[in-house]
Amino acid sequence: MRRIRWNTPLVTALTGLGLITLLGIVAPFLAEEEATALSGAARAHASSEHWLGTDALGRDVLARTLVATRLTLEMTLAATAIAAVTGILLGAGVWVSGRRVRELGLRLIDVMISYPALILALVIATVLGTGPTASVLAIGLGGAPAFARLTANMAASVAQRDFVTQARLMGVPPYRVLVRHLLPNVAGPLLVLLSVAFANVLVALSGLSFLGVGVQTPDYDWGSLLNSGLASLHTNPAEAIGPAVAITVTGVLAGFVGDGLAAALDPRAGRAKVAAARPVVTAPSHRAPGEALVTVDGLAVVLPDGTRLVDDVSFHVMPGEIVGLVGESGSGKSLTAMSVARLLPEGLAAHAAELTLDDLDLAAPGTDPKRLATEIGVVFQDPSSSFNPALRMSGQLSETLRVHQGVRGAEADRRAIEALERVRIKEPARVMKQYPHELSGGMRQRAMIASALLPGPRLIVADEPTTALDVTVQAEVLDVLKDINRRRGTSVLLISHDIGVVGTVCHRIVVMYAGRVVEELSAADLRAGRVRHPYTRALLAASPRLRDTGTGDRAPLATIPGRPPAPAARPSGCAFAARCPVVLDTICATERPRLIDDVACHAVRQEVQAE
């Protein structure tokens, strides 16, 4: 089972409910006599003898409130159980039956839910008559639809998940699919609903007793105590206070359990503790040519707890150059690119000895937003989520122009149409009037590039721009990027996990592993297989080929043993040492290789020196 993250409301509320339950168990033994003993003083005010006064027959109200805890809790638990069991069975039953029954059943549940549970309960109570059993049944059945709907809806969403299909294919009987795969995965929300229902049932039962259709004398619960207390509310308010406080406190505690459970079961909750980030000092070291457009020197991307996700990364992009950042997931390539675009997720901080676009300092806190927006264009991976689905393309495409360059109306539209033409979108005037969903994935991605191009940026940062696209569409989009680079001299920083993509599009490639740069090489060297770092070699060897390589078809692909180290567990030496086929015992585990002659590897270094 998933682990529950205990939190203060949950612990407090559970402790409180525990105490009340304990009270319900012991109170009848201790205070029963006092609660039923008639005394001479009827409707006495609060005194040291009777803390909450006495009722019309002179019985102690505090004692009666305490004794009533048991009956109240029993009834509430029973009604909640009836609501939950009936509802879950109903919901599951509706879900497993055929399409027609399911549709009808779901509508029926919806109708039942739209009536307040108390009204439904009143109707049932009228039919069944008065008394505790009748009101428990009534409230229980009245609460069932909420459980039924949640169960049916959740089951329907879980049932579409792959593991349920898999179970069916393996021949797991339907009943077992329900018990083993569906219910455990809807248990969390049901548990939350259960505690909320408990609070509602408590109030509803008390309400019925208060109205006189619930518990009848000589029995009494909090609701009926409240009822008798109401008669003398103006003369002796203390009599109503006891049961009222008991109902409120128990109800609120149950509600807190619900809130606490919801938080405890939500894996996204918690953890967002932002500590003061330690300053990361890196000395300038990179020898970027003076005319470089983008200079990244000693970049570190740091979590609030000080863990370095990207560590000492240095590279540069020349004007008119396409540089590829390649690496596997977790290598830090996207974080590096997003540091350049100043779009790091919240909680992450970028530190660098130098992080500049020409004369624009990208590491300084208040970088001019206008220059950022106009000089750097960003293209994201998922073309379907990078546009607002509710707005037409025209407004979204020209946004930067309007906001930062004061271009408006017809002129903005004209420039947007031009940009769409540049990325080879046919009928750009028509596309301008369309909504994002009316465009295909490839068209959306080209429109995204057009939008990035509009303010005339000097750099385009493209983060996995073709990963979500089909291979033929990918080819078109990459062509557009190359074309823009060639014709307008726009520099491109292209992030990809696909070594084939960077090899065909880029001029120069930076290979990253575990948050560091391991090798920098020209596209020509990559294409010819002249790679030097053992990780880059392994990556190439692990990729299946499209054409015969002469090594014999279906020979096993090279694999890299082990996994990259987690960011917090990166060794002080080379991060690849544990997986490296040419590791040196003397130095690799202890000393971090520096990027010398474009490769960060002790073994390569030694080889070069030996020659």
Q: Which residues bind another protein (CB under 8 A)?
A: 1-2, 161-163, 165-173, 176, 180-181, 184-185, 187, 328-329, 441, 470-475, 478, 497-501, 503-505, 526-529, 538-539, 542-547, 549-551, 553-554, 556-560, 563
Q: Which residue matches tokens 């992080």? A: 355
Nearest distance, CB of residue 502 and another protein, angstroms:
9
Nearest distance, CB of residue 138 and another protein, angstroms:
35
Measured CA to CA, the distance from residue 379 to residue 401 in angstroms comes to: 17
Nearest distance, CB of residue 413 and another protein, angstroms:
32
Residue 564 structure tokens: 């990259």
Nearest distance, CB of residue 436 and another protein, angstroms:
17
Nearest distance, CB of residue 497 and another protein, angstroms:
7
Nearest distance, CB of residue 116 and another protein, angstroms:
34
Measured CA to CA, the distance from residue 5 to residue 122 in angstroms comes to: 39
Check if the beta carbon of residue 339 is closer than 8 Å to that of residue 357. no
Pairing mode, if any, of strands 508-513 and 322-326? parallel
Nearest distance, CB of residue 498 and another protein, angstroms:
7
Nearest distance, CB of residue 294 and another protein, angstroms:
24
Pairing mode, if any, of strands 294-302 and 349-351? antiparallel
Residue closer to another protein by CB (options 77, 156) is: 156
Residue closer to another protein by CB (options 287, 554) is: 554
Residue closer to another protein by CB (options 259, 525) is: 525
| Residues contacting 161, CB < 8 A, separation 6+ | none
Check if the beta carbon of residue 64 is closer than 8 Å to that of residue 35. yes
Query: Other CB atoms closer than 10 Å to residue 240's CB: what's the count?
Result: 20
Nearest distance, CB of residue 425 and another protein, angstroms:
19
Residue closer to another protein by CB (options 47, 543) is: 543
Backbone phi, psi, residue 571, to 5°? -70, 165
Check if the beta carbon of residue 493 is closer than 8 Å to that of residue 517. no
Residue closer to another protein by CB (options 133, 166) is: 166
What's the maximum distance between 2 C-alpha atoms anywhere in the chain? 112
Query: Other CB atoms closer than 10 Å to residue 244's CB: what's the count?
Result: 18
Nearest distance, CB of residue 579 and another protein, angstroms:
9
- Of 141, 257, 244, whose CA–CA distance to 198 is shortest? 257
DSSP-assigned states of every residue in 34-96: HHH---S-TTPPP-SSSTT-B-TT--BHHHHHHHHHHHHHHHHHHHHHHHHHHHHHHHHHHHH
Measured CA to CA, the distance from residue 516 to residue 522 in angstroms comes to: 18
Nearest distance, CB of residue 101 and another protein, angstroms:
18
Measured CA to CA, the distance from residue 344 to residue 349 in angstroms comes to: 7
**E strand or H helix at 568, and its extent?**
none
Residue closer to another protein by CB (options 159, 587) is: 159
Residue closer to another protein by CB (options 252, 524) is: 524
Measured CA to CA, the distance from residue 352 to residue 172 in angstroms comes to: 56
Residue closer to another protein by CB (options 230, 578) is: 578
Residue closer to another protein by CB (options 144, 150) is: 150
Measured CA to CA, the distance from residue 52 to residue 33 in angstroms comes to: 17
Query: Other CB atoms closer than 10 Å to residue 48's CB: what's the count?
Result: 5
Nearest distance, CB of residue 544 and another protein, angstroms:
4
Nearest distance, CB of residue 546 and another protein, angstroms:
5
DSSP-assigned states of every residue in 308-372: EEEEEEEEEE-TT-EEEEE--TTSSHHHHHHHHTT-PPTT-EEE-SEEEETTEESSSTT--HHHH
Nearest distance, CB of residue 308 and another protein, angstroms:
21
Burial class (CB in 10 A: 0-12, 13-18, 19+), 551: exposed
Residue 541 structure tokens: 């060897």
Residue closer to another protein by CB (options 216, 559) is: 559
Residue closer to another protein by CB (options 167, 403) is: 167
Q: Which residue matches tokens 């546009």? A: 387
Query: Could you check whether the bond before residue 218 is cis, i.e. omega within 30 degrees of 0?
Result: yes
Residue closer to another protein by CB (options 329, 572) is: 329
Residue closer to another protein by CB (options 72, 536) is: 536
Nearest distance, CB of residue 102 and another protein, angstroms:
17
Q: Which residue matches tokens 């149950």? A: 254
Residue closer to another protein by CB (options 358, 498) is: 498
SS3 374: helix
- Measured CA distances, 350 to 276, 421, 572 (Å): 14, 37, 21
Residue closer to another protein by CB (options 8, 384) is: 384
